[in-house]
């Protein structure tokens, strides 16, 4: 039952992140909106699906999101203030893009080395790793707070807002808003 709860919270949280990113992108790009733009989120679904199929391998996206989400869920359930805060997500949000840039500068096309292949995959899918970790952390954090209530609500709310804001920034990048 716990798995179903966490997976449903994960799916809803990921959807909320992309919807917020869509509306943030819409609001920042225009000053006048049609009713269809405000009520129809099918362009969001088409944009996500189009970017995924053109630029990324669906199997790598699913595998990396699954692994990083699992890490986020596990870290959010460690009963220590550091793991139950947005600090680790913030560190990953700041550090991983820097590492990604470093690997992109040294990207090797075909060397046969496993390390080069892993570095190339990391450089291409870094945003999905961050998004997966943050979304998994958010879902696990919501589950942990709702079942244990061992932390103050304000601490929970502040951290979930920070994680959500960071994930919206990553989702905007994935939607093509550089």
29-50: average pLDDT: 75
Give the start-end residues of each E strand in 32-136: none
Backbone angles phi, psi at 49, to 5 degrees: -65, -40
- Using alpha carbons only, how large is the chain's radius of gyration in Å? 17
Ordered by start, the domain boundaries in the chain are: 2-174
Show the DSSP H helices in the chain as ranges.
Answer: 2-29, 35-39, 42-55, 58-76, 87-105, 114-148, 153-174
Query: Do residues 109 and 43 lie in contact, with contact meaning Cβ atoms separated by under 8 Å?
Result: no
Whole-number Å distance between alpha carbons of 22 and 9: 20
Share of the chain above pLDDT 90, in %: 35
Q: Is the pLDDT of residue 37 over 80?
A: no
Query: Do residues 138 and 160 lie in contact, with contact meaning Cβ atoms separated by under 8 Å?
Result: yes
Total-model pTM:
0.85
Q: How high does pLDDT run on average in the chain?
A: 85
98-127: average pLDDT: 77
């Amino acid at each position: 039952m716990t798995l179903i709860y966490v997976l449903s919270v994960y799916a809803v949280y990921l959807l909320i992140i992309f919807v917020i990113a869509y509306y943030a992108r819409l609001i920042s790009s225009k000053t006048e909106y049609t009713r269809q733009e405000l009520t129809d989120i099918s362009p969001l679904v088409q944009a996500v699906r189009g970017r995924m199929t053109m630029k990324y391998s669906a199997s790598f996206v699913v595998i990396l999101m699954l692994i990083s989400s699992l890490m986020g869920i596990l870290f959010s359930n460690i009963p220590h203030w550091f793991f139950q805060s947005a600090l680790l997500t913030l560190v990953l949000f700041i550090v991983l893009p820097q590492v990604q840039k470093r690997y992109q500068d040294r990207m090797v096309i075909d060397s046969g080395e496993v390390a080069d292949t892993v570095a190339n995959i990391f450089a291409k899918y870094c945003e999905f790793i961050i998004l997966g970790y943050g979304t998994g952390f958010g879902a696990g954090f919501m589950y942990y707070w709702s079942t244990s209530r061992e932390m103050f609500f304000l601490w929970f709310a502040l951290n979930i807002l920070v994680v959500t804001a960071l994930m919206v920034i990553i989702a905007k990048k994935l939607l093509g808003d550089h």
